Amino acid sequence: MHAELARGGVPVDDDLVRRLMGLLGLVPVQVKRRGGLTVPDRAAGPIPDLVGRDFTAAAPGAELVGDITQIDTGEGPLYLATVIDCFSKMVVGWSVDIRYPASLVGAALRAASRRIPLAAKAIFHSDRGSQYTSHEFGLVPSELDLRQSVGRTGICFDNAMAESFFGKLKTELVHHRKFATRAQARREVIRYVEGFYNKKRLHSGLDYRPPAEVLDEWFASKQAA
């Protein structure tokens, strides 16, 4: 809140903002964590962890993270797969479906490759779920000349950036809404991702700037050079 006011040209002390929010009863919302969708494939071959919990990158398209979450609707669950660029923290690829096969996460990664240029031998990191360790999905990183990386089963910190985004999505959108249909949920999720999170939501890891601004600034600097 303080960062938003500062960007808007309103000089105010963060302590005052904190006190006023307290007087108005504005408090952080904590969403109860539900069981994850990660089901390890015991037959999957060895895939290394190339990230080691370091979710930073020197340039866009050099390191990406992905994950899947479930959104409940009156028609049943809707599954969302996302791909986040570690440099800009922007959701550069996403896909939704009523199921969560390997093709769902493959579609999200291909969408990311169309959104921003991916570096040769860039890293794509995920959890060790069966969708990501399947032969079907493994063809997609190979096709895009990416190195696949996975964290350990059941260790959320190994894919913390992807988990953090889903936490924000649930807290800021899903927690406050009941979706009657999957189509409604899809529209609202896309509006949140593309209209708010990527373009307006300030990210502490970006010096309180939105991801799209950071990405556009980087590409503009390269063009100027």
Q: What is the pLDDT of residue 208?
A: 93
Q: What is the pLDDT of residue 156?
A: 81
The full set of domain ranges for the chain reads 1-30, 63-224
Q: What is the pLDDT of residue 200?
A: 95
Which residues touch 144 (CB under 8 Å, ≥6 apart)? Answer: 109, 110, 113, 118
Other beta carbons within 10 angstroms of residue 202's beta carbon come to 17
Instruction: Kindly indicate the confidence band of residue 193, based on its pLDDT and cuts at 50, 70 and 90.
Output: very high
Residue 39 backbone dihedrals phi, psi, to 5 degrees: -120, 105
Mean pLDDT for 28-50 is 66
Q: What is the pLDDT of residue 127?
A: 94
Give domain 63-224's CATH superfamily. Answer: Ribonuclease H-like superfamily/Ribonuclease H (3.30.420.10)
Sheet with 78-85, side-by-side order of all strands = 91-97, 78-85, 63-71, 122-126, 146-150
